[in-house]
A and B are shown apart, each in its own frame.
Chain A
Amino acid sequence: MSDFMLIAISTLDATIRVSTPLILCAMAGLFSERSGIVDIGLEGKMLAGAFAAAAMAAVTGSAWMGLGAAIGVSICMALLHGFACITHKGNQVVSGLAINILASGLTVTLGIAWFHQGGQTPLLSGDARFFSIDLPGALAVADVPVLGAIYTQLISGHNALVYIAFMTVPVTWWLVYQTRFGLRLRAVGENPQAVDTAGISVFWLRYRAVICAGILCGIAGAYLSIAQNASFIREMSAGKGYIALAALIFGKWRPKTALLACLLFGFLEALTVRLEGVPLPLIGEVPAQLMQATPYILTVVLLAGFIGKAIAPKAIGIPYSKER
């Protein structure tokens, strides 16, 4: 196998690992935003989920308990967002920012109080983490040229949460486009009054949407702290929630295109790591900082008009009230 092949496969392998939390968060945002609730708090929910997962896993020694805790905490944050924006008709961006700030402060504070490691959680090992799974037949086909390598190294050998993340995309698509819940969800993001006059509760529908977002952000958080890493580190979400939001908009609020956007951003980040310190032909060595900034610059450039007009759900950001 050529060197190029090896590099390509390992870069793509990294892409998958980096994209996983983006995909989960983008799908989370899709539920929330399709229902008309702006979800800038993906970042905060994920961070809180990451802390909860690491803390629970550290105490119980079980990764699955950690995942449960992450989902639970993230749902609580989502409900808080819902309480502010749906029940009390607050500003959705302000509420989302508040959630991010709350998560950023609270995780470190509780981390110091509980574990005395400067905001980190204890290093996890064994069953307290999600380890990579070898898919059936991975070893057997490892020697088959090209396809074998792709199957063994790229498709097999990730942890359970990666597979869950990729599965959320078709599941989200199915829920949104093939079920009654999805029809109503899309309707409430476009014209909540129409939903109300059709005899459906706008509030309950939107609460269900933010709960879905909470679940997915929780999984993303657990992935960060007990699958990809072995402990919680302060601010470990590092803007991924915002990138996922950008990918969602870039993907025009649709599951498949949002997935592609997440993979693109993930690929860029993987490439950044790969190219760090490597001289490129013609350009020479690209400063690491510039490489790290590339996904963000690309986001701005793409959103500024290269992707055509992204038409948001019509009622997004507007609290629903019956008064006319």
Chain B
Amino acid sequence: MLSQDNTSQGTDRSPAIDLRKINKSFGPVKANKNVDLIVAKGSIHGIIGENGAGKSTLMSILYGFYEADSGEIWVNGKLTSIHSSKDAIATGIGMVHQHFMLIDTFTVLENVMLGAEQSSSLKQSKKSARAELQRLSVEFGLAVDPDAITGDLAVGLQQRVEILKALYRGAEILILDEPTGVLTPQEVQQLFDILSALRERGVSVMLITHKLQEIIAITDEVTVMRGGTMVATRETAKTNKEELAELMVGRKVLLEVDKESANPQQVLLEAVNLTLRDSAGVARLDDVSLQVRAGEIVGIAGVSGNGQTELLDVLSGISAVQQGSVVLNGVTIDKDNVLNAKDFRHLSLGHVAEDRHKQGMVTQFSARECAIMGFQDEPEFNGRLLMDNAAVTEHCTNLMQQFDVRPNNPHLKAANFSGGNQQKLCIAREIERQPKVLLVGQPTRGVDIGAIEFIHQQIVSLRDAGNAVLVVSVELEEVMSLCDRILVMFEGRIVGEMAAVDADAQKLGLLMGNAGGDNSATGVAAQ
């Protein structure tokens, strides 16, 4: 499925997209600086870069969300000006957004035809749209039930609706913005098959991602962006992950986590038959039991929304135990012994929350305030009556030095740090006390490659000091390389366990979609 031959795409040799000297600033921030980009017709072109590298801005300019300050856009050899999405659609550009642009309450058919209705009467429009949708489904192998309610579909199918939407509008150039973030490995494979089919029919695809694996797997050419500029363009067949990572970050990066094999000791954290029901009575956790031992990192893999959040909430004392029990450092917490999150901390538990903006920090507070959250009552930060501000500031300064948080300014508002530095600050706060048990939710969500390496090292060294770590992540690569043992969650249950050395994406992916049992949840059945 890699690039075979894309030289025989008709007689028109002008590139599908030719961007020349695109500049775009937001206030003092230069998001795009003299960007040039050429995308060959009928090819899959990857654009890779870290958060804030300017990928999304560039695509927004191409799709008419923003207008460039200067520069030229040539589409199929013609100079075009794109002021709105309408112009982009008219030029034959379609976009599949990271957050789907779908109306959940509408049927698939209604979503596909929205904005491109053939007639002012819905009945007429639906009739012709249905026929066209049928034709597209057959031609591109994109089966989906036109009368299904979009919100009820699995994510992979919703994405298919987005692609159909673009094709329905006659898109010959398809932009996909981080399309795989919410998909299972099997759904990713299906998506890639679709993209290959599109390429065969002469559609040019631009794939925006920060995942090196995907670039290597599917693209013909790849362009790397860093700091708003184009750093390099490579033929995918002639490059590799290491080179691309180095180009993205600007220095050599270690992609694999460097760690010794684990040496598990006594059990420090145990969940026994945990069941948690939400207000509607639906079991969010269904009889979950697990053990985490000193000196090991246990990973929980799964598509987000399968109970991982609820599990972390119970294990950290945010949600009370309803049924079953938690044993933390020898103390049993159950319905008769209810402890809150603060008590859990006193039992030497650290918790790096999944969503740092909701649970990990208050973005409107300064870094030094965020750095003591959860520990604000500790004597070291308090005087007799007031807080000991000098101690708080000093504490934060130390954390920032140890964990390389930049800029090194404890008084700066947390919102003004990049995602990676916010996460480093959160992790620093939790790790600094050397907790016996550390819970980490999504350790590297929205974090740059350079910082990922650092964060992984910190987690491993906590393990090596003889502590227990539980990691929840939706990134399979991360779970496989960071953890020693992997549990898979599906619909609130633990559906599989394996040693990290035995795991591969295929095996885990099947468990994540629960393909062993019924596979309706993966959306495969709907085909």
Chain A residues engaging chain B, CB cutoff 8 angstroms: 177-184, 186-187, 190-191, 193-200, 314, 322
Contacts and interface: CB of A to CB of B under 8 A. Distances in A.
Contacts of A183: 110, 114, 117, 122
B105 A184 contact: no
B115 A199 contact: yes
B65 interface: yes
A160 to B, nearest CB: 28
B84 interface: yes
Given A180-B120, A183-B117, A322-B65, A197 B103 contact: no
Interface class of chain B by DSSP: loop
17 contacts: A178-B122, A183-B110, A184-B115, A186-B103, A187-B103, A191-B102, A194-B101, A194-B103, A195-B115, A196-B85, A197-B95, A197-B97, A198-B101, A199-B86, A200-B114, A314-B104, A322-B65
Contact of B114 (A177, A178, A195): A195
Nearest to B119: A180
A255 to B, nearest CB: 15
Interface string B79-94: 0000011101110000
Contacts of A190: 103-106
A187 B165 CA distance: 15
Contacts of A187: 103, 106, 114
Contacts of B104: 190-191, 314
A197 B85 contact: yes
A187 B103 CA distance: 6
A179 B103 contact: no
Task: Bin chain B's interface residue count.
Answer: 20 to 34
A180 B103 contact: no
B121 interface: yes
Nearest to B88: A199
Most-contacted residue by chain A among B88, B111, B122, B169 (CB, 10 A): B122
A198 B110 CA distance: 12
B125 interface: yes
Contacts of B122: 177-180, 182-183
A194 B116 CA distance: 13
A183 B106 CA distance: 9
A99 to B, nearest CB: 29
Contacts of B88: 199
Contacts of A322: 65-66
Contacts of B384: none
A181 B115 contact: no
B65 A179 contact: no
Contacts of B103: 186-187, 190-191, 194
A186 B150 CA distance: 15
Contacts of B66: 322
Contacts of A194: 101-103, 111, 114
Nearest to A322: B65
A184 to B, nearest CB: 7
A193 B101 contact: yes
B490 interface: no
Given A197-B63, A197-B101, A179 B120 contact: yes
Contacts of A195: 114-115
Given A198-B165, A200-B86, 6 more contacts: A178-B121, A180-B120, A186-B103, A186-B106, A187-B103, A187-B106
Contacts of A179: 120-122
B123 interface: yes
B120 A181 contact: yes
B104 to A, nearest CB: 7
Nearest to B90: A199
B123 A178 contact: yes
4 A-B pairs with the lowest CB-CB distances in the bound complex, closest first = A198-B115, A199-B86, A194-B101, A180-B117
Contact of A200 (B106, B111, B115): B115
B24 to A, nearest CB: 13
A181 B125 CA distance: 12
A181 to B, nearest CB: 7
Contact of A198 (B116, B120, B121): B116
Interface in B96-143: 97, 101-106, 110-111, 114-117, 119-123, 125
A187 B66 CA distance: 22
A184 B65 CA distance: 19
A191 B101 contact: yes
Contacts of A314: 104
Given A191-B102, A197-B95, A322-B65, A180 B121 contact: yes
B288 to A, nearest CB: 29
A97 B125 CA distance: 39
Nearest to A198: B115
A198 B89 CA distance: 8
Contacts of B89: 198-199
Contacts of B114: 183-184, 187, 194-195, 198, 200
Contacts of A191: 101-104
Contacts of A199: 84-86, 88-90, 115-116, 169
A198 B85 contact: yes
B67 to A, nearest CB: 11
Contacts of B121: 178-180
A109 B84 CA distance: 46
Contacts of B119: 180
Contacts of A197: 63, 85, 95, 97, 101
A52 to B, nearest CB: 32
B125 A180 contact: yes
A191 B165 CA distance: 16
Nearest to A177: B122
A288 B97 CA distance: 59
A193 B120 CA distance: 22
A180 B115 CA distance: 9
A191 B162 CA distance: 14
A50 to B, nearest CB: 34
Contacts of B63: 197
Nearest to B125: A180
Interface in B40-95: 63, 65-66, 84-86, 88-90, 95
B309 to A, nearest CB: 22
B98 to A, nearest CB: 10
